[in-house]
Amino acid sequence: MRVRLAIVAAVLLGVVGAFAYAAGWLTRGLTPARFIDTFERVNGVPPPSGFRRNHAKGMCATGLFESNGKGVAISKAVVFEAGRVPVVARFALAGGRPFAADTPENVRSLAILFWLPDGEQWRTGMNDIPVFPVSSPEGFHDQLVASAADPRTGKPDPAKMAGFLAKHPESARAIDLIKHRAVSSGFHDDTYNSLDAFWFANAAGASVPVRWSMVPVQAFEPAGAAQPSEASKNQLFDALIARVRNGPLQWRLVATIGEPGDPTNDATLAWPESRAKVDLGTLSLDRVESEDDGPCRDINYDPLVLPAGIEPSDDPLLSARSATYSESFRRRAGETKLPSAVTAAEARR
């Protein structure tokens, strides 16, 4: 009798143990929740209520994407059939501080949700850097910890940063490229890159690796020398608001086609400049709004919300981005929304 009861207990314990292991409760490995905890710790606890844990400062933009139909040759995604689809976009600054002052050299991002006519969606988050500084989620986490401000000096500890670069030579190379990029004057004349690779699959079943970019129609102007005393806290966003008031801002969506041997699993490595490029169409943004009353705040720009015809590559950052964005969204969705740095009045001015 006792032996048989013990068997019942052992089976139950085994099932519960397997469940706890699957849930990550028995190990200290990096999980989406622990990743977002680190973002919060680095940027100051408690996190400002209701904001994204990264790319926290931003504003919404809306308009449409007009496909020229050329993309149909490489992808069966509905978005590439000739025609127009509405978009909800978001311009933002990298970093987890929603009230930080704008600086020209801060990495800028453009996230876009394309509403496709068949009910599918395409969400993408792009940055204005030539390559990503890390190749893996662990590398991202190491960089985040190393770049945290030392509580005594208020600045990152150079020794920790040096340790990170020694451990991640791929990041040392990528960060060097990023530092030497040409910084544009504002959001409007900036180029935004997917960085991660994806696969485009056409109707015939052929697949090609692709990285895409939003290339501005507005002429590039280099960022001027920073004048922190004169510059407003929201100088980049204010300039964007002023630009849009003068007419729609436009970007060409350009797909760069990878060739065999081009890395699809390492966003720190650029593909050769000689790769074929396909102009897929034009993004036009004719309206900007504050996050407070705009349509982008409650959107999670998960880079793996893809229409049929665009597929994830083996880049490990993609699944990790999807997982951590979801965790960040889960937390902020339930929080009281503090007013954004770029206010509704400012966006309408």
Partner 1 sequence: MNAGAKGTGQFTLPARVLHWVMAAMILAMLFIGVSMVASLASYHALLSIHRPLGIAILILVIVRFAVRLIGPLPPFLATLSARERRLATGSEYALYALMFALPLVGWAMLSAARLPIALWGTWHLPPILPHSAWVYALLREVHAILAYLLFATFLLHLSTVLFHILVKRDRLLRRMLPWKA
Q: Interface residues with partner 1 (CB under 8 A)?
A: 1, 4-5, 7-8, 11-12, 15-16, 18-19, 22-24, 30-33, 35, 78, 118-121, 137, 297-300, 302, 304-305, 307-308, 312, 316, 318-320, 322-324, 326-327, 329-330, 332-335
Smaller CB separation from partner 1, 121 or 147: 121
CA-to-CA separations, 282 to 97, 200, 322, 346, in angstroms, rounded: 31, 19, 26, 27
Smaller CB separation from partner 1, 326 or 343: 326
Residue 39: exposure state from Cβ atoms within 10 A (0-12, 13-18, ≥19): buried
Nearest partner of 123 among 184, 50, 189, 198, judged by Cα: 198
What is the smallest separation between the CB atom of 236 and partner 1, expressed in angstroms? Answer: 26
What is the smallest separation between the CB atom of 140 and partner 1, expressed in angstroms? Answer: 10
Nearest partner of 56 among 36, 70, 80, judged by Cα: 36
What is the smallest separation between the CB atom of 289 and partner 1, expressed in angstroms? Answer: 16
What is the smallest separation between the CB atom of 5 and partner 1, expressed in angstroms? Answer: 6
Smaller CB separation from partner 1, 259 or 335: 335
Smaller CB separation from partner 1, 238 or 302: 302
Amino acid identity of 300? N
Interatomic CA distance for residues 28 and 12, integer angstroms: 24
Smaller CB separation from partner 1, 99 or 115: 115
Structural contact between residues 340 and 290, judged by C-beta atoms closer than 8 angstroms: yes
Supply 303's token pair.
Answer: 């880079």
What is the smallest separation between the CB atom of 118 and partner 1, expressed in angstroms? Answer: 6
What is the smallest separation between the CB atom of 68 and partner 1, expressed in angstroms? Answer: 21
What torsion do the CA atoms of 200, 183, 284, 113 make, to the nearest 10 degrees?
50
What is the smallest separation between the CB atom of 238 and partner 1, expressed in angstroms? Answer: 27
Q: What is the DSSP string of 153-183?
A: TSSB-HHHHHHHHHH-HHHHHHHHHHHTSPP
Nearest partner of 283 among 209, 216, 191, judged by Cα: 216
Smaller CB separation from partner 1, 247 or 334: 334
Considering the candidates 55, 141, 168, 188, report the single residue annotated as catalytic: 55
Smaller CB separation from partner 1, 108 or 141: 141
Number of CB atoms found within 10 A of residue 320's CB: 18
Supply 154's token pair.
Answer: 């208020």
Q: What is the DSSP string of 115-160?
A: E-TTS-EEEEEEESSSS-S-SSHHHHHHHHHHTSBPTTTSSB-HHH
Taking each helix axis as running N to C, give the angle between helix 137-146 and helix 32-43, from 0 to 180 degrees, rounded to the nearest 10: 20
Respond yes or no: is residue 55 known to be catalytic. yes
Amino acid identity of 306? L
Q: Which residues participate in catalysis according to the annotation?
A: 55
